[in-house]
Amino acid sequence: MDYRTCDAMKKYNALRHMTVQKEEKIEELKKTYHELFQAIADNQATTAGTNKEGKRLRELENRLDKANLKHQEAEHIRRTYMQIKDKLQDEQLTYGHSLDALEKQIKAAQDELVELQVMYNDAVIARDAAQKELKYQEEVIANDRRRRDAELSSMKRVAEGKKSSSEKNVQLANRESITTDDAQGASGSGSGSSSAERGPATRGTGISEEQQQKIAQFEENFKHIKEVTGLSDLNQIVKRFESQGETLIHLQELKDKAEKQCQTLREERDRLQQQFEELKYSGETELTSMNQLLEQYKKEAEGEAQRREMLHQSVSDASRLLVQCKAGVDHIHDKLTFLNAGTGPSDKFSDRSEGQLPEMLRQCNDRLDELMASLDDVDIQEQLNLMEQEEVPRASLITPRLEERSGAMVTHGDNLWRLGKLIAPEHSLKLFNALGGVQRCRYVREETEEKSA
């Protein structure tokens, strides 16, 4: 009886101890569950940006976007300056030849300018000589005009004296004719003599008028000659006419020479003007074509830069997605290693290169299928109801193997919930909901084995 009582007491104490330990384990699991739930809520709040960390994350994202914009702007400015630098370097290669060509053009223009300056000086000298000759001729003409005026005045005075004397002679002749007419009736012989005297008087009067007409005509012609030549002496007038022929020939030669120089200067001016217009329009055309080509290259460079940015962004997104997928596959593979605990850990994927990711995904899918197949044999809801009804004491008599299999599943349940979608979406919800039930069923199995032992 005492032996049975002691044995019952021992079992009772063992059960109480197991109950306390399992209750502590339940509290610990509840705490872990609440921590996981709180972590999920915090993660969702952070993603939504409703808590402090989410606001901080959003602020950091905004700052990152601003920094990216500044970086893009700086990159655009750098590309622009690089294009300017390349353009200047290209111009530097042809700058020496262009400078030599311009120097040759300047030298040729300077030589032409020297020639034109010499021709201009010759023209100025010829102009000054012609002006001096003209001034001298004007002075000579003025002096001759004054002398002719003085001679004309003296000749006029002489002509007036002769005219007055001729008038007196006419008056005397008239008086004589009147006296003769009065004495005509006295004698017949007197009439014949009077007629003979009147005839010579009349002839004398006719000669005087003809002389006056000739004198007037000569005076008019001589006046005209003096005005033209500027001289009054006949010998000087003859010499002047002879010298005027030589002067005319010299002036004609100067005129021809000046006309030739003017024609040459006009042709040179037209040629230089034509060269200037050709250089002007050719330079404008070349500049316009270069500007158009530069704008075309700028547009092509901007298009290539945008395409490069898009490709760079696509590569970055693909790289980030690849890293996330690789990390998720590695994590799932690590968390599912407890299914092969009986066969020992495998170091087949110790290095885990990118070429082994498909094999790792295949193994993860196989292990998840194996896990779900093992869960199909267990009635999780029945086990939960049984544990609630019996209120079996929870004890922390969990073997290292159970801790390795179940504890890791509970601790990383959230990771399996998120990353399980990448491999087996149809199993992830079942796996996440069944984690607690699997562990409780295994607690019941271990407890039953201990009791039977």
In a domain, 337, yes or no: no
Rounded alpha-carbon distances, angstroms, from residue 345 to 150, 350, 368: 152, 10, 17
What value does the mean pLDDT take over residues 429-443?
Answer: 40
156/257 same-domain check: no
Give me the residue label for tokens 């030298």: 107
Most confidently modeled of 112-126, 166-180, 334-348, 402-416? 112-126
pLDDT digits over 20-77, tens only?
Answer: 999 999 999 989 888 888 888 777 777 776 777 778 888 888 889 899 899 999 999 9
Total H helices, total E strands in the chain: 10, 0
Question: How far apart are alpha carbons 35 and 108 in whole angstroms?
Answer: 94
The contacts found for 141-148 with CB under 8 angstroms, 24 or more apart, are 141/230, 142/230, 143/230, 144/226, 144/229, 144/230, 144/231, 144/232, 145/226, 145/227, 145/230, 147/231, 147/232, 148/223, 148/226, 148/227, 148/230, 148/231, 148/232
Residue that finishes a domain, picked among 145, 170, 195: 170
Does this model's pTM top 0.75? My answer is no
Residue that finishes a domain, picked among 131, 146, 170: 170
- Which DSSP category does 51 fall into? S
Q: State the pLDDT confidence band at 339, using cuts at 50, 70 and 90.
A: low
Whether the pLDDT of residue 411 is over 50: the answer is no
Of 130-144, 157-171, 282-296, 418-432, the range with the lowest mean pLDDT is 418-432
Residue that finishes a domain, picked among 238, 263, 295: 295
Q: Determine the structural domain holding residue 147 and report its residue range.
A: 49-170
In a domain, 176, yes or no: no
Of 383, 352, 305, the residue nearest 75 (C-alpha): 305
In a domain, 425, yes or no: no
In a domain, 378, yes or no: no
pLDDT digits over 355-376, tens only?
Answer: 677 788 888 888 888 877 777 7
